[in-house]
Structure 1
Amino acid sequence: MDTTPTGLGGAGTAIDIHHVVKHYKGASAVDDVTLHVREGEFLTLLGASGSGKSTLLNILAGFVEPTAGRIEVGGRDITAVPPYQRGLGMVFQHYALFPHMSVWDNVAFPLRRRKVRKAEVARRVQQALDLVELGALGKRRPAQLSGGQQQRVALARAIVFRPQALLMDEPLGALDKRLREQLQLEIKRLHQDLGRTFVFVTHDQEEALTMSDRIAVLRDGKLVQVGTPEDLYERPRSRYIAEFLGESNIFSGDGDGERFVDARTRAAFAVGSAVAGGSALVVRPEHLHLSAEGGDVPAGHNGVSGVVRDVVYLGSGLRIEVALPDGRTVVARAGTRGELTPRPGLAVVAHWHPDRSLVVRDDTGSPIAA
């Protein structure tokens, strides 16, 4: 019989992944990943298809057995523990609701399996449904709900038995953009209300930036970089991270800590931050400013001359492509009411402050490009 204290909130638990490896027919889906998830943290596993993020989550959940390595939850080794004894909640991409059961019975299912008292089941189910704002829909079947409502039912079922941590495998992938953005904020609120540890898998960069306390980026089964959304966006350690998280202007060349020399034009740019051995210069579009050719450029700014090729109205601002003489393109983002009115064919200088120049490792094997 369940004797857990009442209430759905509580402190989260730490999760430790130690040198986890998973091989499939000689190929590494997860390649020696070590990661610490802090108590009560919202950590997102982010990566492209085939990066190993879902495999790693399924190893955490106990659905996939690792080839090597160890998993600890709250300091307890659970590597060989079956899924139903790990005390972890799981939300799948396709909800996995029982179609023949009502919403109420779907949420009650994990409590009944744990032989919780009937009165306690009723109290907890109603509390979980109220928390996801479905308290009045308990009698409906899943088929009578929208996609967003079904996802909330899946969340309620995952939290109703008070798991030590909640694991979510791309739970918003099947929803339209508006509903996905709404549920992103609701899941973030739910995390704050519960105080539990959340591990969330997605391939959507904006989703990861919006929801996470920290993001762990995986590539080809390896952990590339872990940090806060601001860390990864403003201070990427490699070209891959800069390209994967948001849009970037990137030049290949060589940096010596104080300046960067473009490989194609041999132009030298002052830099604000550099990685040892860095060979790619990163400038985010929002840090790139445009002045008319021959106009004023702030003293000390780096700059490249070019011609406006395209201007796209985004509602909140403009996305402006500038073609450089050597065939490359840089992108700037600007407000709709700036001093300069960009139009195709306008000769401009794209310039930026040296502090906005990031020199990183070029780990992509990409050709010289911007």
Structure 2
Amino acid sequence: MTSPTPPSTGASVRLNRVTKRYGGLRALDDVTLHIEAGEFMTLLGASGSGKSTLLNIIAGFTKADSGTVEVGGRDLTGVPPHKRGLGMVFQQYALFPHMTVFENVAFPLRRRRVPKDELVKRVREALDIVELGHLRSRMPAQLSGGQQQRVAFARAIVFHPQVLLMDEPLAALDKRLREQLQIEIKRLHRELGITFVFVTHDQQEALAMSDRIALLRDGRIVQVGTPDELYERPAELYAAEFLGESNIFRGTVRGGVFTDGASGAGLKVAGAPADGPAAIVLRPEKVRILLPPDEVPPGHNALSGVVRELIYLGGERRVEVGLADGRRVIARLRSDDPHGHVPPGTSVIACWRPEDALVLRNGSAAAAAPDPQPVG
């Protein structure tokens, strides 16, 4: 593997109060986001959340109704796409079918009238970075989907952009190839020092690849933070529901005790949350499964139920426990955990430490949430 010295370092990206409307619909609503130079920032959200619109405004393909876009301290708000100097990788590769791999990668340099010797050097360097130098004479139709996507990456970095924009570039690939290219993209980011702005709706992809994630919903940013922060400390219920699977209970906190609104059960919570309506967010990997007459460890919360489903996932098992009130609690146990092998119909106890659950006090999010249930 060839790892040339990074030809450039990344530039910061600053979006200030960006709004975009389509008729009466606000695709983006007063969005402000600051991306650090050299950072890998992922724009994450469901379809219609505004993430691709935001990326296209950075690229210059879409014009914002208000707000500004700055890259490296330079205001690009009115600058056309071809003069912004940003790299772009699309979901469908967008390779020229009548050009070889070499010619596809060389295309941005020819448009910039780069001298031939320098052009050849840069193209070879870019293809070596994506480990496709040996295929430079092939046509796109002779490449696999993963190889075509790597050619698209090489073409996007060959002119040494400071910022690389990627619009769901792995969505069309199968799971195994997608995971392989996730590693390749992380390697590219580390070696090149370029600022990456990556759009995806895939939560696992975002967790695996990002320095930080901006989670969008209905044209607004819900939360910005590291993968750990968004997963372990979601700011509101939508973030907890969207990013990973969660057990969510709605109720009331009073005197440091949470009362479940559906069953009336009292559940211990960590710290001293303020009294009032609240929700508990409990990740499945924090839940233990006990078999009566096993004793619940001191200080733990416990709910009795019956195993409904047991799903083998390789290194772990997903256990769905049905409660008496009709709801369910999901646990994820290591495959070698004997409690993960109990068959459906078995009476069990789901338990967890109070400090392993998060108490949220976002009234609007709690009011909009459905009845407590895991969401994956």
User: Which band: TM-score by shorter chain?
Assistant: over 0.9
Q: Per the alignment, in what secondary structure is the counterpart of residue 28 of structure 1?
A: strand
Rounded to whole Å, the distance in 1 between the matches of 2:255 and 2:213 is 27
Contact (CA 8 Å) 2:15, 2:31: kept in 1 or not? yes
SS in 2 for 1:300: coil
Structure 2 counterpart of 1:281, one-letter code:
I
Q: CA deviation at 1:255?
A: 3.0
Deviation larger for 252-261 or 137-146? 252-261
For residue 136 of structure 1, give the secondary structure of its aligned residue in structure 2: helix
Q: What SS does the corresponding residue of 1:59 show, helix, strand or coil?
A: helix
Correspondent of 1:29 among 27, 35, 46: 27
Q: Any unmatched runs of 5+ in structure 1?
A: 1-5
Match of residue 151 from structure 2: 153
| Match of residue 355 from structure 1 | 355
Matches within 5 A, 1:226-245: 226-245=224-243
Pair 155,366 (structure 1): closer, same or farther in 2 beyond 3 Å: same
CA distance in 2 between partners of 1:151 and 1:178 (Å): 14
The aligned counterpart of 2:289 is 290
Deviation digits for residues 140-189 of structure 1 (CA, Å, limit 9, x no counterpart)? 11111110000000000000000110000000000000000000000000
Post-superposition offset of 1:256:
5.0
TM-score for the superposition, normalised by structure 2? 0.94
Where in structure 2 are the equivalents of 1:302-317 lying within 5 Å?
302-317=301-316
Give deviations 1:210-239, integer Å, cap 9, x for gaps.
000000000011100000001000111111
Match of 1:115 among 107, 113, 116: 113
- Paired residues of 1:278 and 1:359 also in contact (CA < 8 A): no
TM-score (ref. length: structure 1): 0.95
The 1:274–1:40 alpha-carbon spacing in structure 2 relative to 1, beyond 3 Å, is farther
Equivalent position to 1:87, from 85, 88, 99 = 85
What code does the residue aligned with 1:65 have? K
Counterpart contact for 1:236–1:242, Cα < 8 Å: yes
Inter-partner Cα distance in structure 2 for 1:367 and 1:178: 34
Alignment of 1:103-252 (within 5 A): 103-252=101-250
Task: Give the CA deviation at 1:278.
Answer: 5.8
Q: How does 1:248-263 map to 2 (within 5 A)?
A: 248-255=246-253, 258-263=256-261
Pairwise CA distance, 1:295: 1.5
Question: Which runs of 5 or more residues in structure 2 are unaligned?
Answer: none
The 8 Å contact of residues 256 and 273 in structure 2, kept in 1 or not, is answered as: no
Q: For residues 106 and 186 of structure 2, what CA distance do their matches in structure 1 show?
A: 23
- Equivalent position SS for 1:305: strand
Question: Aligned residues, how many?
Answer: 365
Summarize the Cα distance change of 1:356–1:278 in structure 2 as closer, same or farther, 3 Å threshold.
Answer: farther
Q: Which amino acid aligns with 1:304?
A: L
Deviates more, 1:250-259 or 1:84-93: 250-259
Q: Specify the code of the residue in structure 2 equivalent to 1:354.
A: P
RMSD: 1.6
Structure 2 counterpart SS, 1:153: helix
Q: Which residue of 2 aligns with 1:334?
A: 333
Residue 190 to residue 275, structure 1, CA distance change in 2 (3 Å)? farther
Tell me, what secondary structure is at the counterpart of 2:197?
strand
Q: Which amino acid aligns with 1:29?
A: A
Structure 1 residues 246-304: Cα deviation after superposition (integer angstroms, max 9, x where no partner): 11101111235833221112222122368766622110000000111332111000111
Q: Which residue of 2 aligns with 1:3?
A: none
Alignment-derived partner of residue 367 in structure 1 = 370
- Separation in structure 2 between the aligned mates of residue 268 and residue 247 of structure 1, nearest angstrom: 23
Alpha-carbon spacing, 1:101–1:8, altered in 2? closer, same or farther (3 Å)? farther
Alpha-carbon contact 2:6-2:193 (below 8 Å) kept:
no
Distance 2:273 2:41 in 1: 25
Report the Cα distance in structure 1 between the residues aligned to 2:255 and 2:61, rounded to whole angstroms.
46
Answer yes or no: is the 8 Å Cα contact 2:102–2:136 preserved in 1: yes
**Superposed CA offset, 1:317-365 (max 9, x none):** 1100000000001100112222434221111110000111111236161
**In structure 1, distance between residues paired with 2:254 and 2:215:** 27
Bigger mean CA offset, 60-69 vs 138-147: 138-147
